[in-house]
Each structure stands twice: as C-alpha cells, then as structure tokens.
Chains A and B, each alone.
Chain A
Amino acid sequence: MTASAPARLDALGASGPYRSRNLEQVHDVTGGLVAELSLVPWLYAQRTLRALRAAAPPDPARREEMLVEAGRLFATGTVDGVDAETFHRTVAAVSGMPITAVREATQRVGDYAAKACASVQMARPAGAVTDWRDPRARHGCGVWTRRGEVFVVHAPANTPAVHSAWLDALALGYRVAIRPSRREPFTPHRLVCALRQAGFADDQVALLPTDHETADRLIAEADVAIAFGADDVVRKYQSSTLVLPQGPGRSKILLTEGVDVARHLDTLVESVAGHAGTGCINATAVFVEGDPRPVAEAIAERLGALPSLPPLDERARLPVSEVASAKRIDDYLQSKVDDAIPLLGGGTVVDELGDGSAVLRPAVFLLDRADAPQARIELGFPCVWVAPWSRADGVAPLRDTLTLTVVGGDDTLITELVEDPTISKVYVGDHATTWTRPGLPHEGYLGDFLMHSKAVIVG
C-alpha cells in the first residue's frame, strides 16, 4: 500500500505503552505490511490484570465526562498522533471493509461512548439503586453492584462497531482489558488510546494483544469476560457463569403471507448487505410464507448490481479479503450448497481485483424447505438463504437468532417469537435486522451479565 515504515502498535499496559520483541505483522488485504503489533507474554498480561484489579474506578460522573470526550476523540479527533481519516483508511485497508462502512461503524462507537453511562442504566432492575447512599436504602432496597472488578474482552475483527460493547463495562466502573483480534487491532488500539487521552488512567483500560493460547488464559484470569467466536467458542463457554460467549448471529427475516415484497426490498437488502454484510446483525436467511423465488430473485438483482471495488473506493459496498482467504471462504460455501439453487454466487463468489485481494461477491440461494440446514450458515459477507415457510413449519426454523425481523404476522405468532428464549431481538414491521440504538439489549443487556443486585438497608 505505502512504502513507509510499518506503524508500530504497542500494547497498552497498566504502566503505559509496551513494546515487545515478539511482533506480529499486520497486513492489508493486498498483503502489504501495515503495522507491527506487540504481542505481550503471559507474564505481562497477568501482571496487567492484577494492576487493573488493584485500581479503583473513577466516580460515575467523571466516568461519564471521560467517555463522552473519548467518544468524540475516537470518532473525529487526533488520537496517538493519528487523525480520524487516516485511521478509517487503515481499518478499511486492513479489514477490507468499505471505507464508508468503516466511517459509519466508527461514528457509531463514538456516539455510543457518549451515551454509555445512560444506556447501561436501562439494564438496572426496577428495585435496585446504583449507590448504597441512596435514600431508598434507609428502608431497604436492592443495590446494583459489579460482579467483579476486571472485565476481559476477547474481541473480534468483523466490524469496528463491536467495540461499543465493552464501553458499558467501563461505564459501570469495571477495569477493562481488551485482547484485540490480530487481524484488525487498530480500532481497539485507538479506542483505548482515546479513553486514556480523555483521562482514564493506564490502570483502568488496557490493550493486551496476545497469541491464541494466552488469550484463553486471559479469560481464565478475568473476573468476568466476553468472548466472540464461532459455535466452538459458544460451546466452550456456554456453561460458564463468568464468561459470556457471543456466537454467530444467524439473524433472519420472516415475510408473512400477502406482504408486498417490493415495498420492503430496501429493508431486505440493507439487512443482508448493510455494513458490507460483515455483522452478526446481518440477515443470514429470509423465510417467505408463499413462493420464495420472486423474493430471492429481487434480492439477487439488487445485490448483483453492487460493484466490485477496493475498500478505499468511496463507492465500495462489498467486503474485500486476501485472495487466499477469499478462496477458502468460497470453497467452504460451495461445499455446503448441496441442493440449494444459486441465484447469485453459484460457482464462485470470488472476484479478484488483481492486486492480491478479492471482493467477496454477494450470494443468494433458494432453498426448498424451511428446515434446510444451509439456512444456518452465516458468513462474513452478504450471503443469504431464502426459504419457504408456512404456519405448519412453526417457530423452529426461526430459532437461534440474534435479530428476527417479522413483516406481517399476527399477535399469536409474534407473541410466540417474543417469548422464544433463543431469539434475542424481534423487530416487527419494516425494520432492517441491522437497526439498533443505544439502550437496547443485544443478546440481552450486557449489564445483566456484569452486575447483580444485593439487598442493602442502612441505619
């Protein structure tokens, strides 16, 4: 990409930046060297966690001030000598996410920081207050308190937006250590730097890049942790009360009988391909009560028109990867197609740009039944499975879902969906699965996991 020396991304420990001898090279999607990331050894990581645990959090008002300022710096300011536009370009070049999507996701994180302190209060039980000095405690009430002191985040790289998640923990007074993805460490590095620039002390929030093995140990040493990953990560941690696994989203859309597809096509396309289709909130499957083919064809036509462009092009809308990794993803997809009918992306989804990178073109497949296993395959680019659905199929095919958008539908069906424990968000009407705003739960409120209530009576 550039001939300049690679950027130096230090770890950010409890006593400042740390440069290790063990450096991991971070490349852009064309294979160019962009940065050298310091990977910390376990000894450093565990000492950092201990320093974090020993530190006291700032008071809540101060936290809010600093989060607001950090959000502003992160989204628009100069952080660690890097301005926002340079940062956006670096993230786009490294992650392959289109530059416009990077800007939007980054802005979302900045906006979220400003609202985090208010937003986390949405999770507080109605019977609990935030401080034992609250007058209500004189008669006895619940007080909402942290379940631990140190929160470890095993972060993913699919979109900068995921980093808004752990801001809740800082807002609640946790000390937070982020283990970034080695593929895209720039976003959490900038966010931690911005928080520090805004006034959070070095022993409040840390960035600890590590190898895979050390990452597991970090989680084991945390008081509480969140780990993003595939089904194996979910299986590994689902019985733990101290680790919250965040698995595949498998977001879905249900179009019930009589819905005018043309009116909702924008919403369908945004759900599948918004933010370049890299998120857990992007739709993986669309279920249609009636004939699914016209819906699949309409989506395919719209997605097929998206251009193949490098991530720094302002018109780019699709994700880009190194050719080898794009081919791996494509091989995997094509091996799973089986009896699905490809309307888009049959044969290959890889469109090489000639510079070592390749666009992952959208894929649209038609399934012949609601319980076809392909409908559960979530990939990091716009890829959607369109299937028929009838009342007889019931809720089963709609389960295990982060966001379920239902267009149409009666009270009975919607009640059933809202009550289903495996569906996290139910959007009724013309709402893209990607829609969200601060204060809403995302696989539950993180506050539900980070906090508990205890009975307090004073005096």
Chain B
Amino acid sequence: MTERAASALDLDWDSPPDADDLVREAVEWHFNPKTGSEFWLERAKKLDFDPRKDVRTVADLTLFPNIVDELRDIRLETLIPKGYASLKRFSERPVVGESGGTTGEPKRVFALPDVINHAWDWYHRRLEDHGITKGPNWLGVVPTGPHMVGKLARDTAASFDAIFFTVDLDPRWAKRLVARGAVDELKAYVNHLLDQIEWILRSQDIGVLAITPPLLEAACQRESLVELINAKVRTLTWSGASMDEDTRHLLRTEVFPDVNIVGIYGSTMIFCAIPERRGTSLEEPAIFDPPSPFSMFSVIDPDTKESVPYGERGQLVCHHITRNLFLPNNLERDTAVRHKHALGLAGDALSEVKPVKAFGDKAVIEGVY
C-alpha cells in the first residue's frame, strides 16, 4: 500500500470520506505544482485566493469560478494532473468523454481507470439494489461515440456477465433536426432506430433495456414494440435526458406496468450515473442521490446563491471532485427540486430535473389567432 491509498481521493464511492477532508486533499493534489494539471495550475494564477490555503470546506468550493465552458476548446492533455506520471499505476490512456453538445461545442473531459472503476462499481451496486442480476442480456439504446453513457452501458452489462446488444445513435444529429424543425427527417431517423431495436427485441432474449426517454416514447408509438418490451424486458433504465413526471407515471402504470423502470440521472460534468432512489411510491417523483462527496449537488436560488428550501425548485450547481478531475461550482442550465440526501451525505439530492425554461414562446402580435 502506498501512502496515497489511504487518501480520501482513493476511497471506494460506497465508503465516502468526510466531505471537507476530500476537498482539502483534492485542492492539495490539483493545485500542488508537482501534481496538479497544467490547466488548473495556470488557471490558479488568475484566482484571487490560494486554493491550497483558502479552500478547506465544501462551502469554500463556491470561491471557484465556473470553468466548464473552458472545457470546450482546451487540449485534453492539459487537464490531466501531472501527479499521474509519477504514480506509474496506469499504463492505459485516458478515456475521453464529451457533454451532449446541446449548447454549442461540446465540453470535453477524461477519465482514468481509477475513477472509472469507482464510478462504474458504484453504478453496478445501485443497479443491484434495483434488482438487476447476472444473466439476462442487455440492449443498449443510448449514445455511444464520445458520450460516456454508451461505454457505461456496455461495461455495466459486462459486469453483470450479460451479452450486450446495441444500436448506433447520434443525438446531436437528432437535436439539429429538431432545431431546424425538420419533423419528417427526425421521424425517418427515429423510425430507422426503432426498426433496429425491434429486430433485436424480436430475435433475442433481452432482459435489460437501457434507453433514452425520447426513444422510449417513440417506441411506445409502435404497439409491436410495446408488446415485445412487456413480454421480454424485466428492467428498463432511462437516461440521457429528463423525463417529466406525467410521462413517468404513465409508463409505470399503463404502458409497462410489470416492468421494473429505473430512472438514471447522469452528466459528463459529474462523471457518474445515478439510478433513482429505491422504494419511492407511484405518486413520488424519481429522486437522485449522488455519490457524495465525489459528486455533489446544490439546488440554489440563482439570485441569492442560497439553497432553496427542501421540496422547492432551484438552479442546479454541481461539484465533481476526484483524483482525475476537479470541477467545482458548476452552475448548470438545469433546474431541479431539492431533497435531503438519503444517506445524509453532503449536498442535495434531486428530482424533476429540467432545463431552465427558454424565454417562452415568442409573443405573436399580428393576426387574430
């Protein structure tokens, strides 16, 4: 065991350290000239505080500016802490993950095996909590390519000793079609995907279906697909986009009443996927408890920066703190309802995440309608 193995940064995500301890170790690692990344060491010069001295607690994380927009165009190598070179633990190259790319150029991060293992193991155990067992085959209808959710689905299926079936899908192209109102083209693309899903579901024994909410809704338009899913799929996970509670309720009560439906909240900027809290009633929303303190949420009033009361909606702030990445105080464009963390860990749990409402429908003045 090296000295570092006892560090808060290396603990299993199910054995969380004290959050403030983690923060102190993280700033020491990421801002020490010997171990920090080129990105943070350069960026620190522009800060009006010294992270290694002045950041001692979770609350101090709000001192940091939101830097995630800079992840759109920096060289990936500059993000990797120099300390890894001396660790010699990893011969593998980093895995690159990108954000959705909805708001312009995607943001780009990396992960090394230490953090991937922690995040994936944690995810695997949460799915076990939801009743997924070894054996049944998986069908992944989630984006691959630069989107980490595809890799997560494939790796997790492997961790359950499952055969993994999948289809290609390109959500950025779909979003472009939506943006320019190309309804027919979008329909054609979705049908192309649904055909492929149907071929697999018809011929293969699929027990676990990992799918995005828009495609799940599209699948519901085909009676044949609804029947196949009801006949074969025991657990269905949705992730990659938000799902409104009305839709979730209909899916659970009317469309797939006997399927175990598990919502997943994930984002590249927190580098984890969070299955919904177990055991909530049909009338409750899906609540997401993050692997705090490695990934933490705050739900705040954007004007006062204070937390909103529990049960109320506010804007989402994310912190991601691992040996790989230090992404504190990231004010997201999403809003969510604030909940207490189920395990009493630092930060908030979330429900009903949705994008900040755009500026509404443009007021039409001329005409009588």
Contact = CB atoms under 8 A, between A and B. Distances in A.
A229 B246 contact: no
A203 to B, nearest CB: 15
* Best-surrounded residue of B181, B249, B361, B365 (most CB of chain A within 10 A): B365
* Best-surrounded residue of B217, B223, B249, B367 (most CB of chain A within 10 A): B367
Interface string A143-162: 00000000000001110000
A228 B367 CA distance: 10
A41 B250 CA distance: 9
A46 B369 contact: no
A328 B220 CA distance: 42
A278 interface: yes
A109 interface: no
B246 A158 contact: no
B204 interface: no
A230 B369 contact: yes
A249 B223 CA distance: 42
Interface in A348-380: 377-380
Contacts of B366: 230-231, 248, 332, 377-379
Nearest to B226: A47
A280 B245 contact: no
B365 to A, nearest CB: 4
Given A41-B250, A43-B217, A46-B220, A248 B367 contact: yes
A114 B227 CA distance: 42
Nearest to B178: A213
A21 interface: yes
Given A248-B368, A278-B368, A220 B187 contact: yes
Contacts of A40: 246
Nearest to A284: B368
Contact of A156 (B251, B363, B369): B369
B159 interface: no
B247 A380 contact: no
Interface in A218-274: 220-221, 228-233, 236, 246-249
A44 interface: yes
Contacts, number: 87
Given A22-B246, A40-B246, A50 B367 contact: no
Contact of A21 (B221, B223, B246, B251): B246
Interface in A33-49: 40-44, 46-47
A41 to B, nearest CB: 4
B368 A279 contact: yes
B268 to A, nearest CB: 25
B247 A43 contact: yes
A158 B223 CA distance: 38
A448 B220 CA distance: 33
Interface in B194-252: 217, 220-221, 223, 244-247, 249-251
A41 B247 contact: yes
Contact of B367 (A21, A212, A247, A325): A247
A318 to B, nearest CB: 15
A380 B368 contact: yes
Interface in B231-277: 244-247, 249-251, 254-255
A20 interface: yes
Interface string B336-369: 0000000000000000000000000101111111
A334 to B, nearest CB: 12
Contacts of A332: 365-366
Nearest to A324: B363
Nearest to B364: A230
Contacts of A228: 369
A178 interface: no
A329 interface: yes
A272 to B, nearest CB: 13
Contacts of A20: 246
A216 interface: yes
A157 B221 contact: no
22 contacts: A21-B244, A21-B249, A41-B247, A42-B217, A43-B246, A43-B250, A43-B255, A47-B250, A156-B369, A158-B369, A216-B183, A220-B187, A228-B369, A229-B367, A230-B364, A230-B369, A231-B367, A232-B364, A236-B181, A248-B366, A280-B368, A379-B367
**4 smallest beta-carbon distances between A and B, as pairs:** A156-B369, A230-B367, A41-B247, A158-B368
Interface of A: 20-22, 40-44, 46-47, 50, 156-158, 212, 216-217, 220-221, 228-233, 236, 246-249, 278-280, 282, 325, 328-329, 332, 377-380
